[in-house]
Structure 1
Amino acid sequence: MPDTSVFHQDAWFRPGRGSRYQQLQRHISTAILSGDLAPDDQLPPEREFAEIAQISRVTVRKAVSLLVADGLVEQRQGAGSFVRSAAPKLKQSLSSLVSFTENMLVRGMTSTSTVLLRGVFAPSPREILALGLSSQDRVTRIDRLRRTDDVPMAIEFSSLPQDILPDPGKVETSLYAVLRKKGCAPTRAVQRVTAINLERREAELLKLPEGSAVLKIERTGYLATGRPIEFTSGLYRSDIYDFVSELRRD
């Protein structure tokens, strides 16, 4: 069992920052993701946990149930609650132009999307630059939360010229599948990878503590003619996702 000081109330409780069970859940999530609590570390039994943290057993139970729902803790019958062993990270090549849906499909996994926003809008200065538009043009935007086997994996913000995708309602799961049916899917792309810390809204969607580090990938996709037709900015969970590139000597 890990050092119990990590569970002491003075380590995680701050007045006015939410209910105790939510603060405790966020604190343990951070400890797991930072490595302070390692895979297979056992949480104290409920009664002992409540005494250490100076809270009720109901509060402990609620916090642990949230950690279980987030996939960070598992409850083993007759043994207790343990930090879940880290699963192998999903790897995606940076040199292959495949969609999130296709990447999950080849791994035998089911991907789903929750549409956060979609519609046709006046382009922002960034979209004008990335897609070669004028201020009079219109862009189609689709923001989606991407899940794999019901685990939130990424948030993707995609923008396309309106003539490429006039009806954003046609996109349910795979944007590229819709574009391929129209014969206007990108044939090459330029990507930029950086690391950022999550703001509160994105952290809640990805079920991570606010400020968690994630991978940010900005991609501009081009037709064979050289026309830019897709600008996507994605936030990917770095705890379960790796992007891999292959380098060759010229």
Structure 2
Amino acid sequence: MSSPKTEFIVEDLISKIYQKRYSSGKLPPERELAELYNVSRYTIQKALKQLIGMGLLIPRQGNGVFINEKMSGNPLVFNSVTQVPYKDLKSQMLYLKKVPALPKLQRIFNLQDNEMVWEFCRIRIVNYQKTQIETGYIPCTLFPVMTSEVIEDSIQNFALEEGYRISHFMTNYSSTQLTREEADILNCRKNTPAFLIKSRGFLRDGSVFVSSEIIAINYECTYVVPFNKNIFHKRRRPG
């Protein structure tokens, strides 16, 4: 996780970008930002690195850091995992097995009674700390072959390599507490507060290619979304 100072700078710069405070499309130099926020240049560099990783900024060698205009007007979602470079994000598979699709999974993946799914469980390790336990399912109809290497690397990347076109993800967040088994895996105490994150990944044709539940600790998520006036007024109507 980032330090509170770095988190504040990231959020404040995002706010300023969406407010179009940098009309030139270019951020001030690192030294100027360090003076503005009363922090070291190293802290500024960490904040800028996160914003570059999100796609909001584009570095140009010898010319500074520029705002990515294609991204700055769009909805933005980032969390404590997506901010981490892949080199600092590891997965450890606990198991991978082929199982019959139960009725709930049949509905999710639009499968028949006799069709199978891959069930997997993996631990996500961020900066050498175990932070997530993910249990998920992948339809065998889309992926007849699945390996531990894929589970420990990237299911999304594997889907792209197989020629599928990913459309979007649907994610639900709720609060939970760690069970004894989960706490032992994550080296925490039982009943430690955690996020329960349910997610489904969709392909361009509407098919669901992965469905999973994640138990996460030390997790943060930030949204920047447009204001929807129609939904706001609809919610305000009596009855």
Alignment correspondent of 1:220 = 200
Alignment correspondent of 2:213 = 233
Partner of 2:209, secondary structure, is strand
Alignment correspondent of 1:112 = 90
Alignment correspondent of 1:153 = 131
Matched, 1:131 2:120: no
Does structure 1 conserve the Cα–Cα contact (< 8 Å) formed by 2:116 and 2:139? Answer: yes
Alignment correspondent of 1:68 = none
TM-superposition CA deviations, 1:79-122 (whole Å, max 9, x none) = xxxxxxxxx9x999996599x5x64217xx51111111102110
Distance 1:144 1:97 in 2: 21
> Structure 2 length normalisation: TM-score?
0.58
Partner of 1:136, secondary structure, is coil
Partner of 1:241, secondary structure, is coil
- After TM superposition, the structure 1 = structure 2 runs for residues 22-61 of structure 1, keeping only pairs within 5 Å, are none
Structure 2 unpaired stretches of 5+: 1-46, 55-74, 229-239
Distance 1:148 1:97 in 2: 15
TM-superposition CA deviations, 1:200-238 (whole Å, max 9, x none) = 11111111111111101111111111111210111110x
For residue 161 of structure 1, report the CA deviation from its aligned partner. 0.7
For residue 187 of structure 1, report the CA deviation from its aligned partner. 1.6
- After TM superposition, the structure 1 = structure 2 runs for residues 1-250 of structure 1, keeping only pairs within 5 Å, are 103-105=83-85, 110-169=88-147, 170-171=149-150, 172-184=152-164, 186-237=166-217, 240-250=218-228
Distance 1:158 1:183 in 2: 21
For residue 133 of structure 1, report the CA deviation from its aligned partner. 1.6
Instruction: Give me the identity figure in percent.
Output: 16
Distance 1:168 1:96 in 2: 29
Structure 1 unpaired stretches of 5+: 1-87
For residue 191 of structure 1, report the CA deviation from its aligned partner. 1.0
- Provide the aligned length of Structure 1 versus Structure 2: 156
Distance 2:102 2:222 in 1: 31
Distance 2:225 2:163 in 1: 30
> Structure 1 length normalisation: TM-score?
0.56
Does structure 1 conserve the Cα–Cα contact (< 8 Å) formed by 2:77 and 2:224? Answer: no
Q: Which aligned runs of 4 or more in structure 1 are off by greater than 3 angstroms?
A: 90-98
